Amino acid sequence: ADFRKADIRFPKQLPVKPNMDRSKYCRYHRSHRHVTEDCVHLKDAIEILIQKGYARKYVKEGERETNEAQMAIDARYR
């Protein structure tokens, strides 16, 4: 629901190719191209959720301040 509120759309499922590594699966893309933990697109979507304030309920108050400070530092080096 938060993905929709933040205007993040899930990608269309890509067709399965015969040479794909079936041991890798991305739940975000619903495909066997890479594992979910390595999904750059999912990480970008989560970053958008954080920036728009939809992820606040998943972060403890003390951690939130630390994360916001780290994001400010990271933004300077982009």
Coil/strand/helix, residue 28 = coil
pTM for the model stands at: 0.65
Query: pLDDT tens digit string along 13-44?
Result: 888 888 888 999 999 999 998 999 999 999 99
Please give the Cα distance from 67 to 50 (Å, whole number).
10
Quick count: other Cβ atoms within 10 Å of Cβ 26? 19
Q: Where are the domains of the chain?
A: 2-76
Query: Cβ distance 36 to 26 under 8 Å?
Result: yes
73 has a pLDDT exceeding 70: no
Choose among 30, 36, 34, 35: nearest CA to 13: 30
Please give the Cα distance from 78 to 76 (Å, whole number).
6
